[in-house]
Amino acid sequence: MVIFDSRGSETVEVELVSGNISARVGAPSGKSRGAKEVMPFPENDARKAVQAFNTVLKQRLLGFDASDQRGVDELLKKVDGTENFSRIGGNLAYAVSAASAVLAARAQNIPPWAYIARLSGLKPCYPLPLGNVLGGGAHAGEGAPDIQEFLVFPQHVANVVEAVKCNVEAHRRLGRILLRKVGGFGGGRGDEGAYAPPLDDEKALEAVKEAVEGLNQGLGLDVAASNMYNTERDRYVYRNRGVEKTAEEQLEYIAGLVERFGLAYVEDPFHEEDFESHRRLCKMFPRLLVCGDDLVVTRARLIGEAARKGSVRAVILKPNQVGTISDTIAAAVEAERNSIVRVVSHRSGETCDGFLAHLAVGLGATFIKAGVLGGERVAKANELIRIYGQHGESLLLAEVGYA
Ligand code: 2PG
Ligand code: MG
């Protein structure tokens, strides 16, 4: 059925039933989407996805074995018949694929994360929460920073609960700092619950740095540079500041921020075709987690290419970028094969679905990027805490690994 996401936009939720067991998964929606992602909805309309479900999918799914994940995912592709899920929509494909995994796990009486771990062959662990406390770009209004996300993650914490608390504390402290320092700022937030103050990128980083003082947290950015990039002019446009940068200037600027603020993580610092600038940034900072999101869009083939070129040390895994659990697993396995850090990620438009936490645990991700505050963000953290409550120290908390 059609439900609403955290932005109030329509999205889809799927419920699959087998005997007296059922599984329900809602699909999120991105705003800063990669050009090579699958189509979220047919003709951009969630209702058309539900129509497609009722007319071409439902009948084929009846009686299908949910524990045949590959079979379900192949069926989704076959019924769709396009390269990019434009007929049924990637969000519908994802919701069906994930609900099928949850249903199969329930039928086997194991948690979804364990089912995903079994399918992937990857070693499950508790991921570290990587969350944005301040934001701008496509996720906020005019005057906010041009960079989309200012991220924090805990280093050296004892367990999942402490890890979540650490990010919450940083978010709260930042709120107090911004209210005190930024005249006229009333505490407004962007799409993902991160503060959206009228500051430039550097002032924003200064405030975040102040907020994490003594908290032992790593700092990061999601530049979401494809959104800033003007193809015709071959320039990065910092819209809110009225500044433009060439690729070379962008590299210098990002490198300067890494140095000045001791950043540990930088996502999408260049546009989605520019493997070479990513490679140069990796080369400049041997321990920096240069992370590809729009660059690789959860596709094993692109992750392989980025790895061969030395362009990334981490990759974002967003299942609805590619549409199926099987392809998300293939992407995660390709990352592991190349010693690339896995970051399982939410979208800016989210539902209160907690499945993402299971996916992150089951894929042995180092990070779960799911924001910090806001019901739909906390839903992922709370699910992670529930998994921890049930399985305790039988799984380890991830450590930040560098390639
Ligand atoms: C990103 C995401 C999530 P969106 O760029 O990493 O934070 O944004 O879902 O809008 O693509
Ligand atoms: Mg991103």
Per-residue pLDDT reduced to its tens digit, 214-230: 999 999 999 999 999 99
Tell me the pLDDT tens digit for each residue of 362-371: 999 999 999 9
Please check the confidence at residue 402 and state whether its pLDDT lies above 70: no
Among the atoms of ligand 1, which is closest to the Cα of residue 346?
A: 3
E strand or H helix at 302, and its extent? helix 300-309
| Helical pair 90-107 and 112-120, crossing angle rounded to 10 deg | 100
**Residues measured by CB to lie within 5 Å of ligand 2, the ion:** 222, 267, 293
- Catalytic residue list: 192, 318
Rg (CA), the chain: 20
Residues with CB under 6 A from ligand 1: 30-33, 149, 192, 222, 224, 293, 345-348
Residue 106 host element (H or E)? helix 90-107
Give the list of residues 6+ apart from residue 403 with CB closer than 8 angstroms, or none.
313, 339, 340, 341
State residue 401's pLDDT score. Answer: 65
Q: For 219-264, what is each residue's pLDDT tens digit?
A: 999 999 999 999 999 999 999 888 999 999 999 999 999 999 999 9
How far apart, in whole angstroms, are the C-alpha atoms of residue 279 and residue 281? 5
The runs of H, that is alpha helices, within 136-272 are: 160-181, 201-211, 247-261
pLDDT for residue 240: 86
SS3 62: coil
Average pLDDT of every residue of the chain: 97
Q: Give the per-residue pLDDT at 360.
A: 99
Give the E-state strand segments of 275-403 in sequence order. 289-292, 314-317, 341-345, 367-369
Q: Residue 207 has which token pair?
A: 């405030």
The owner of tokens 């540990």 is: 264
Backbone angles phi, psi at 35, to 5 degrees: -65, -25
Give the angle 342-313-70 at the CA atoms, nearest 5°. 35
Which atom in ligand 1 lies closest to the alpha carbon of residue 191? Answer: 10
Q: Report pLDDT for 403.
A: 38
What's the pLDDT tens digit per position in 352-386?
999 999 999 999 999 999 999 999 999 999 999 99
What is the rounded CA–CA span in Å between residue 367 and residue 217?
Answer: 13
Its pTM stands at: 0.98
Per-residue tokens: 84 = 């990019």
